[in-house]
Amino acid sequence: MTYKTSKIDVWIPRTNLGRMVKDGKIISIEEVFQEGLKIRESQIVDTLLPDLQEEVINVNLVQQQTDAGEKSRFKAEVAVGNKDGFIGLGSGKASQVRNAIQKGAVAARINVIPVRRGCGSWECGCGQHHSVPFETIGKCGGVTVRIIPGPRGLGLVASSNTKTILNLAGIKDCWIKSFGSTRTTPSFAYAVFDALKNTYRLITPSDWVK
């Protein structure tokens, strides 16, 4: 299911980065991350990653206590990615499912990160960007996820939601191992996202020679 949330043509930027992107002074998302600039508008991501795809990972009904009593709202987790090294994950809450998904989709864009890919599998050694470059670990709410590099042709050995996220990131072959007692879908998805984020936190010996 795909929801198009942002309309770039009617966008009036509210941030400096937004204005630079709209005016064509910044034309690549790599530039944004190299300069360490913070994305605060979803349209920045829509402009710089026009091939972005969107997937709903989970929708929950949540009960909230308010002054007027108990109120039901929907909470949605949405993932976005260009299937080529960029992934975002976000959550949104609203009284209607559709609005919760839209809010989640905007949050996912604002949370977009680069994913370092590679061939970290000793069995493979092809040197192409089909997997992760090394084993990476992510955590969220008591869930720990390990992404283990796999050889070409292995596919994604993971649950369907995890596959959706890895697909959007552009990772084709890997194993996923998970630990923890509370394997709820949102925590699990965020742990996978954290592991993907960690592909850029770790400095490997191959970076020293660059």
**Measured from the CB atom, is 13 or 151 closer to Zn ion?**
151
If DSSP codes are grouped into helix, strand and coil, which group holds residue 113? strand
Please name which of 89, 172, 187 lies closest in space to residue 138, comparing C-alpha atoms: 187
Part of the chain binding Zn ion (CB under 5 A), chosen from 93-101, 118-126, 164-172, 198-206: 118-126
- For residue 92 the two structure tokens come to 């949104």
Closest CB to Zn ion among residues 16, 128: 128
119 lies in the site for Zn ion, by CB under 5 A: yes
Which of 27, 61, 62, 126 is the binder for Zn ion (CB under 5 A)? 126
- Report the residue number, 115 or 124, with the smaller CB distance to Zn ion: 124
Distance (Å, whole) CA 80 – CA 87: 6
Secondary structure class of 24 (helix, strand, coil)? coil
Judged by CB under 5 A, the residue of 39, 48, 124, 140 near Zn ion is 124
Assign 133 to helix, strand or coil. Answer: coil
Please report how close the Cβ of residue 158 comes to Zn ion at its closest, in angstroms.
Answer: 18
- Residue closer to Zn ion by CB (options 122, 208) is 122
Nearer CB in complex with Zn ion: 126/202:
126
Going by DSSP bridges, is the β-strand pair 174-179/156-157 parallel, antiparallel, or unpaired? parallel
Contact of 110 with 17, CB cutoff 8 Å: no
Shortest reach from residue 52's CB to Zn ion, in Å:
26
Backbone angles phi, psi at 38, to 5 degrees: -95, 125
**Is 37:29 a contact under the CB 8 Å cutoff?**
no
89 binds Zn ion (CB under 5 A): no
Least distance from Zn ion to the Cβ atom of residue 134, Å: 13
**Least gap, CB of 151 to Zn ion (angstroms):** 6
Closer residue to Zn ion in complex, CB, 115/189: 115
CA 132 to chain centre: 15
| β 156-157/136-140 pair status | unpaired
Q: Is 202 in the site for Zn ion (CB under 5 A)?
A: no
Stretch that binds Zn ion, among 2-10, 109-117, 133-141, 146-154 (CB under 5 A): 146-154
Neighbours of 183 (CB within 10 A): 15
Residues in contact with Zn ion by the rule CB under 5 A: 119, 124, 126, 152
